[in-house]
Amino acid sequence: MSTLTASLQIRHGMISDCKDLLTVYQTTRWQQHSYTQVQQVKDEHRGRMFRRFNWLVAEVDDHVIGETVFAMTERVGVGLAGVFLNLDIDVRHQKRGIGRELVRSAENAMAQMGAVRAFADAPPSSYNFWMKMGYFATRPVVVLKRSTAGMRGRLPRDITMREISDFYHTPRALRFSNLAHVGATLRLAREILDLGKTGMIVEFRSHESVAGVGVVCQRTSSIGEFVVDAMPGHEEHFLAMTGRIARLARRMRLKEIYSKVPVDAVNLFTDSTGWVEDEENLVPVTRLL
């Protein structure tokens, strides 16, 4: 049974919390990243897109010992949804009900903003936690990768592509998710817009409306990650949009591109040869709010 600390307070995060969060990350993220400076944590909590996210922290005895960041997205077929972008509780404070409190506070905030469902990507080690919180596994994701060479894709004349550099002027394109993994465009676009990674974000438009979105972000000197999504009614152009993104990646001198794709969207790629499927070890989970 969890024993909840009496002095626990859940509140909005502030940049001054980053000092404590460095310690939190050193206990929870030591395998993926090497966090050594407060500045690294501050950089992750700033920027044009971050300002549109929601940030809650858990404080015990004047120390921040946990946090969650979540975003709102329009999930086609679902409605407005909240997506957990991260959730970290200092290892020394885990199993005392703090993760539960943070998740429930975030869900309440999501529901107040009109969300009908919440999504998270659970590392296998946290899957049981999410189960206990009432989440269940949804559309698994696989990694599809391919050489950027020889990919065709012709868009009809009435679909145009333009680069997005300012999130404020084109919020819709980055806020919906239809065929792509939920939250994937937001996460990747953020790396470019807020974290200064090399990449491009493009919007596909048909007449006056958004037809799709594409993001490609450099990972190594020759490999890039991408996400493409198409709005309802434009699904048939998904592969052509992907072809345009591959062309942009080639212009960035990337030789290979990969994307995390919901398993039921893999058939969208089968028209085009050369894709190789790899396993992804995150388990997407969801819960009705």
Ligand X SMILES: CC(C)(COP(=O)(O)OP(=O)(O)OC[C@H]1O[C@@H](n2cnc3c(N)ncnc32)[C@H](O)[C@@H]1OP(=O)(O)O)[C@@H](O)C(=O)NCCC(=O)NCCS
Binding interface with ligand X (CB under 6 A): 1-2, 28, 84, 87-89, 94-100, 120-123, 125-126, 128-129, 132
Q: Which is nearer to ligand X, 252 or 282 (CB)?
A: 282
Q: Which is nearer to ligand X, 100 or 197 (CB)?
A: 100
Q: How far is the CB of 97 from ligand X (least distance, A)?
A: 4
DSSP 46: -
Q: Which is nearer to ligand X, 92 or 251 (CB)?
A: 92
d(Cα 65, Cα 166) in Å, to the nearest integer? 34
d(Cα 188, Cα 22) in Å, to the nearest integer? 23
- Of 62, 67, 54, the closest CA to residue 28 belongs to 67
d(Cα 109, Cα 103) in Å, to the nearest integer? 10
Q: How far is the CB of 94 from ligand X (least distance, A)?
A: 3
Q: How far is the CB of 204 from ligand X (least distance, A)?
A: 30
Q: Which is nearer to ligand X, 11 or 48 (CB)?
A: 11
Q: Which is nearer to ligand X, 103 or 201 (CB)?
A: 103
166 contacts: CB under 8 Å, gap ≥ 6: 48
Q: How far is the CB of 248 from ligand X (least distance, A)?
A: 30
Residue 156: count of CB within 10 angstroms of its CB: 11
DSSP 203: E
What is the Cα 34 distance to its own chain's centre? 21
Burial classification of residue 61, based on how many CB atoms lie within 10 Å of its CB (0-12 exposed, 13-18 middle, 19 or more buried)? exposed
Residue 205: count of CB within 10 angstroms of its CB: 17
- Of 222, 223, 241, the closest CA to residue 231 belongs to 241
Q: How far is the CB of 56 from ligand X (least distance, A)?
A: 13
Q: Which is nearer to ligand X, 122 or 228 (CB)?
A: 122
Q: How far is the CB of 188 from ligand X (least distance, A)?
A: 17
